[in-house]
Chains A and B, each alone.
Chain A
């Protein structure tokens, strides 16, 4: 079945460590790609998105993601994490040809940053 996969269920880092969260999708064709974040007790909110153009996308709070078409991947990165980055991170895809923009989410990665 076509899907979105996030490789890590739970990642634990110390402050100032670098972060990379993996995301792969299995859809062929042109997709729109997203990373959403849910901080404890808060709503899901958009971190960044990619539709076309430069495959390196910069988002809020120092996050960036790189689209690698040949690998069907859209990994999220941050050079130096902070305690406040503790949250759950979701990768999402809008499937090819979908005009309405429905999102297909991965299962999420919980990030815990130790102060």
Chain B
């Protein structure tokens, strides 16, 4: 059974704070690591798909890094805004599993104005 762990489970920050959270995944048979943003009452939407060790991706104030050798990815949000409040999911795609994604439990971020 593949384990994908996210920490922390939840996070409360003030508007303007920068924050980061972690996704841990198996370091063997890596193919890709996905990050999704999931707002309440909506569907998950893709943020990043990362495939190479050392990858760094950025979209506005959100960025992510990838370390496939040690099996972790960090998601950073710079200067959090209330509209960043959502659950952030990571998903591991192993090289032996065609198309199969294993999701972590998510980190729920609440940004207070």
- A, B co-complexed: no
